[in-house]
Amino acid sequence: MAILITGGAGYIGTHTAVELLNSGYDIIIADNFSNSTVTAIQRVEQITDTKIQFYEADIRRYTDLTAIFQNNTIEAVIHFAGLKSVNESITHPVEYYDNNISGTINLCKVMQEFSVKKFIFSSSAVVYGDPETVPITEDFPVSTSNPYGQSKLMTEQILHDIFISDNEWQIALLRYFNPVGAHKSGLIGESPNGVPNNLMPYISQVAVGKLEKLHVFGGDYDTRDGTCIRDFIHVVDLAKGHVKALDYFDTQKKGEVLTLNLGTGTGYTVLELIHTFQKVSGKNIDYDIVERRPGDIVVSYAAANLAEKILAWKTEHNLEDMCRDTWNWQSKNPSGYDT
């Protein structure tokens, strides 16, 4: 019995693969390597001293998926595969809906055919749009203004509808806040293509000398230092949340749809992150405060107590750990997996 990890060669997928193997689960990875490389899987093998079975497969291709389900006994699916840039989704909506919606529907079709009814889905805090208050609890209204966010909301709805049609399904909709950090070995981490859109990879590329200067988008927000606030969560803590969700389903007799935030419950400002990174890395991060980035949420952080209560899961890494582990990965792999 194996856990199929779609998108398992990606940033969160590789870290989850490590934690699943450490917890005694068998895994199979399916990835089309559109945003990752085989090297990432080899690094997971190195960390865990385990040979990993993987398929170069596109979730949009029915025959790719049926081949995996025919040749293996799949117990559950953790579904990371998809595209993840808000900006790119606005310029390439069809590609986003194709990968994130058509791909997921195809996956669900094959799961139904093979009676695999355990599904863990990578949702995002993007579904909360601009929240009226913080911390954000799971019952906050959802809304979104871009195709990426729509694809997460639609997938959540599709999975709810599948459960209504067959209540044996065990479905976890895990809404991630801002994943950062890397495995402490420095062998796996975030390796974005081109210039990063997100804050932490941008900071670490400035620190390693790949980028000259960080632009801080907006310094006049109504926050303690004028910059936006986010709930940064260490990717290893996030990965462990997936293991806990699987463990939890194993103890349950009934199907359900579980909607949970995965965050720390604490928000830090952009400047606080920069200063912490400088402190732990010993590197100066040159930055300018520039215009606000259109569409940015001012303050976003999770109420993390529901996941804690249901999954018996709690984050263990603080902001310094997140910065230290990011720096360890970036300094050992200045060009990511291309190094």
Kindly report the backbone phi and psi dihedral angles of residue 236, in degrees, each rounded to the nearest multiple of 5, phi listed first: -75, -40
CB closer to ligand NAD out of 66 and 226? 66
CB closer to ligand NAD out of 54 and 248? 54
Q: How many CA within 13 A on the CB side of residue 161?
A: 8
- How far apart CA 3 and CA 25 sit, in angstroms, is 7
Of 5, 13, 259, 325, which one interacts with ligand NAD (CB under 6 A)?
A: 13
Q: Does 19 bind ligand NAD (CB under 6 A)?
A: no
CB closer to ligand NAD out of 35 and 170? 35
Is residue 148 annotated as a catalytic residue, yes or no?
yes
Interface region with ligand NAD, contact rule CB under 6 A, candidates 79-87, 127-135, 212-220, 279-287: 79-87
Interface region with ligand NAD, contact rule CB under 6 A, candidates 6-14, 202-210, 290-298, 306-314: 6-14
Q: Does 82 bind ligand NAD (CB under 6 A)?
A: yes
3-state secondary structure (DSSP) of residue 29: strand
Burial class (CB in 10 A: 0-12, 13-18, 19+), 30: buried
CB of 141 to ligand UD1, least distance (A): 17
Q: Does 128 bind ligand NAD (CB under 6 A)?
A: no
Closest to 55 (Cα-Cα) out of 96, 4, 106: 4
In degrees to the nearest 10, what's the CA dihedral of 121, 124, 128, 134? 120
The one of ligand NAD, ligand UD1, none whose footprint includes residue 114, by CB under 5 to 8 A per kind, is: none
Q: Does 31 bind ligand NAD (CB under 6 A)?
A: yes
Closest to 259 (Cα-Cα) out of 306, 216, 222: 306
Which listed residue (148, 176, 268, 301) is catalytic?
Answer: 148
Return the DSSP state at 61: -
Q: Does 202 bind ligand NAD (CB under 6 A)?
A: no
The one of ligand UD1, ligand NAD, none whose footprint includes residue 35, by CB under 5 to 8 A per kind, is: ligand NAD
- How far apart CA 129 and CA 149 sit, in angstroms, is 8
CB of 247 to ligand UD1, least distance (A): 25
Tell me which amino acid residue 132 is.
E
CB closer to ligand NAD out of 8 and 135? 8
Q: Does 34 bind ligand NAD (CB under 6 A)?
A: yes
Q: Identify whether the C-beta of residue 7 lies closer than 8 Å to the C-beta of residue 79.
A: yes
Helix %, strand %, coil % for the chain, to 5? 45, 20, 40
CB closer to ligand NAD out of 98 and 289? 98
Q: Does 36 bind ligand NAD (CB under 6 A)?
A: yes
Angle at 12 between CA 7 and CA 14, to 5 degrees: 70
Two tokens, residue 69? 């389900």
Beta bridge partners of 269: 229
Query: Footprint of ligand NAD on residues 159-178 (CB under 6 A)?
Result: 176
Residue nearest to ligand UD1 according to CB distances in the complex: 228
Closest to 249 (Cα-Cα) out of 99, 337, 117, 150: 117
Interface region with ligand NAD, contact rule CB under 6 A, candidates 2-10, 47-55, 297-305, 312-320: 2-10
Largest Cα–Cα distance in the chain?
Answer: 56
CB closer to ligand NAD out of 116 and 238? 238
CB of 217 to ligand UD1, least distance (A): 4
Q: Which residues bind ligand UD1 (CB under 6 A)?
A: 86, 124, 126, 178, 197-199, 202, 214-217, 228, 230, 270, 293, 295-296
Q: Identify whether the C-beta of residue 323 lies closer than 8 Å to the C-beta of residue 156.
A: no
- How far apart CA 25 and CA 4 sit, in angstroms, is 10
Q: Name the residues that contact ligand NAD, by CB under 6 A.
A: 6-7, 9-13, 31-36, 58-60, 80-82, 84, 99, 103, 122, 124, 176, 179
Active site residues: 148
